Structure 1
């Protein structure tokens, strides 16, 4: 795969999401960021399959994690199984201890395939939604806390805050460059829909949002609160600010993803969100 293939991969992934969920939610920037992962070598760590007309019908990449997608019109022909076999072989050649893949629970055929290959469930992921029939009300900040939208110049402080907060559960810290490709440097990053909280001039909380095309949803990419400022209602306050900003941009629903390692599901449910769909992260020791 090369950078010239990014748009084709995006179209393939969007077709798979529309078939499964009725809508797409992966933007072009996410595809580009995945293929810029540190250590991923496109020539050896990616595979594309085209039909006789030259249209991309299946793809895979592996770099600690793995993703495999087959166009709905080309399923049942063994393409997914073949790409999974390739991904496992590539991971072994790279001396990876395990391979990990996330599968939506509604994709029962893919779940059955992974289970038949001795993959085991590791983590549950949820996509949550907050429907908005009217502009959400936002409470006053706690004493000593101020809230404003993201501005140019906040990037490095936001990266430090997020990586410190995510240290509790993530396996590795992202460098600023990798983190930025997934957030503030994505074409869909929405500063006006992203809320920051400050105490004594220091950043203590952040909700970073995306303005995804071809959807009525606002999307929150990351939520983080500094450890010493948790349990003060800051996360809920920032979420409601982001919900309101999404509503003011004409969005009727705001979504975000989380998983069972973060322990944040109840926070989002208490904020009025509900689970739209779930996925399972499967692993296989190699």
Structure 2
């Protein structure tokens, strides 16, 4: 049985001229450039920031020598990357597609997931990436949920509704972090598979370099946090991004989410941003809310799942 660092570094099935090795923290910049090239080719713009790549690499429990692979060509240029830990991401540079890299990395990810004792592999693929969708379907992956990236154009400063009675809003400030974490985890309990520790959550939100506290908004009632938006100012896109929106269960259906979002949009507009975006998926049931606020769908993705217990 192969275990620990005895796991071979090579990805079986790579075409001639390509080599694979585990990723290190120093590779996150190259990985971001790879993901950016993929997004630019598919969408005409970049959405993912380097902070998200670094946060994924630092996922609790992910063991980089075992759970990550970086593929380079003969010249040492990064051609593809993959990681697997509860879910999986595989990205192949547009200049290297059609050569079997994606298929080889997908096989490696499934093998590694089995070795780690995972019952399934989950991967999100943009619906516009028809080749990747076809590959997953050919490998017995099944659709699980739909994800949408929504946008809110802001040619003029957005209007903001009056707060409901007893509700005050203000920008996020130091000291809000742990209350915001608790609020988000409680609000997401209905659909997320597990609660995130503060450390894991913070890496994806308040500790990311792109975190924008001045464009993040909290709602309070009687001195307690009842709603929050956590925002990123993405340098590669020139637009604002709402990473998370949450309202406490006992304060829903009062217009607080709309108030938070509109306040966030206005804050970004005053910083010179003319578009704000956010992502949601079908398990949250929040799509209609965002559409009512005035957002529109920019593109959709599908989360695919494959059971690997057999």
TM-score, normalised via structure 1 length? 0.99
* 8 Å Cα contact 2:49-2:236 kept in structure 1: no
Partner of 1:86: 108
* Residue equivalent to 1:226: 248
Tell me, yes or no, if structure 1 residue 246 matches structure 2 residue 290. no
Q: Which residue of 2 aligns with 1:103?
A: 125
Q: Deviation per CA, 1:131-155, whole angstroms, max 9, x where unpaired? A: 1110001111000000000001100
Partner of 1:284: 306
Could you say what secondary structure the match of 2:30 adopts? helix
Q: Separation in 2 of the partners of 1:52 and 1:271?
A: 50
- CA deviation after TM superposition for structure 1 residue 216, in Å: 2.5
| Aligned partner of 1:72 among 65, 90, 94 | 94
- The 2-side partners of 1:118 and 1:74 are apart by 24
- Runs of 4 or more consecutive aligned structure 1 residues displaced over 3 Å after TM superposition: none
Encode CA deviations 1:10-48: one digit per residue, 9 max, x unaligned. Answer: 100000010011111111110011011111100000011
CA–CA distance in structure 1, aligned partners of residues 93 and 272 of structure 2 = 31
Pairwise CA distance, 1:51: 1.0
Compute the displacement of 1:253 (Å): 0.7
Structure 2: gaps of 5 or more residues: 1-22
2:190 equivalent to 1:179: no
What is the rounded CA distance, in whole Å, between the counterparts of 1:266 and 1:110 in structure 2? 28
Stretches of structure 1 that go unaligned for 5 or more consecutive residues are none
Matches within 5 A, 1:15-26: 15-26=37-48
> What does the per-residue CA deviation read over 1:163-221, in whole Å, with 9 as the maximum and x for residues that have no partner?
00001100000000000000000000000100100000000000110000121321000
Question: 2:52 touches 2:208 (CA, 8 Å); kept in 1?
Answer: yes
| CA positional deviation for 1:241 | 0.3
* Pairing 1:15-54 to 2, within 5 Å after superposition: 15-54=37-76
**Counterpart secondary structure, 1:210:** strand
CA contact (8 A) 2:167 2:219 kept: yes
- Preserved CA contact (<8 Å) 2:88 2:122: yes
Count of aligned residue pairs for this structure pair:
286
User: 3-state DSSP class of the match of 1:38?
Assistant: coil
The answer to whether structure 1 residue 201 and structure 2 residue 236 are counterparts is no
